[in-house]
Amino acid sequence: MKFLWCCRSNQRLLWSLSARRQLSSGDVSCSNHYSILKVSPNASQKQIKAAYYKQSLVLHPDRNLDSENTSDTHAKFSELNEAYKILGNNKWRKEYDQKLKIHNHYKNQKSVFNSDVIEKDSVRGSIQQRSQQFDTWTKSHYQGSLQKRNHRQNKDSLRQNISREESKQQSLRVTIVLSVALMAFVLVFFPPKKKDK
């Protein structure tokens, strides 16, 4: 951007660079330039200029030399100049308005997101409570079933052990009976020979 004013060209160039830097960084949240100039966003260029001149007369550092808060007044005057610099230029004002819309939209989205996060946290908490309640109910409901199953398994294993022992005893009895029968058979059919003297 070219400036035609010779004596103030360096100062304007610095202002234009800082304004562009502020616009490009999207730093519109610090303070709203419309509120600094005390005008509405729909204000015309004449209204913006009149508001700037009115406030610059009040806040100008040369008028407030004996004031106790000179640094505060100087900071407010700098903000006023920055606001007028951006809103006084139609191109920069359009850029600023776009950045402001984006910033407000993002800010609204962020608040919606935060409320969603809070809502999700509360839902997550209620889900955890429900799962804990379900765990408690499941344990109480199925604990009887689990105990019955364990008791049944113990009974079944005990029955199996008893039947194994009985089958062992039965096989031992059969073996003894067969042995006795075999010996009787041998003694009856194959009697021992008597020795003659």
Q: Which residue has the higher pLDDT, 30 or 64?
A: 64
> Considering the chain, what is the average pLDDT of its residues?
77
38 domain residue, yes or no:
yes
pLDDT digits (tens, 9 = 90+) for 123-169: 566 777 877 888 888 877 788 888 888 999 999 999 999 999 999 99
Residue-level pLDDT at 153: 94
79 domain residue, yes or no:
yes
Residue-level pLDDT at 130: 78
pLDDT digits (tens, 9 = 90+) for 97-107: 888 888 777 76
What are the distances in angstroms from CA 146 to CA 12, 135, 141, 150, 152?
A: 85, 15, 9, 6, 10
Which segment of 19-28, 52-61, 141-150 scores lowest on mean pLDDT? 19-28
pTM of the model: 0.42
Contact 92, 86 (CB under 8 A): yes
Range of the domain at 70: 30-88
Residue 173 CA to chain centroid, in angstroms? Answer: 75
Kindly report the CATH number assigned to the domain that includes residue 81: 1.10.287.110
19 domain residue, yes or no:
no
Residue-level pLDDT at 58: 84
193 domain residue, yes or no:
no
1 domain residue, yes or no:
no
35 domain residue, yes or no:
yes
53 domain residue, yes or no:
yes
Compute the C-alpha angle 93/98/101, nearest 5°. 125
Confidence of residue 170 (pLDDT cuts 50, 70, 90): very high
108 domain residue, yes or no:
no
Residue-level pLDDT at 134: 81
On the question of pLDDT at 120 being above 80, the answer is no
On the question of pLDDT at 45 being above 70, the answer is yes
Residue-level pLDDT at 127: 74
State the angle between helix axes of 90-189 and 70-87 in degrees (0 to 180), rounded to the nearest 10: 90
pLDDT digits (tens, 9 = 90+) for 8-20: 333 444 444 454 4
Residues 189, 137: Cα–Cα separation, whole Å: 77
| Count of domains forming the chain | 1
Q: Which residue has the higher pLDDT, 94 or 18?
A: 94
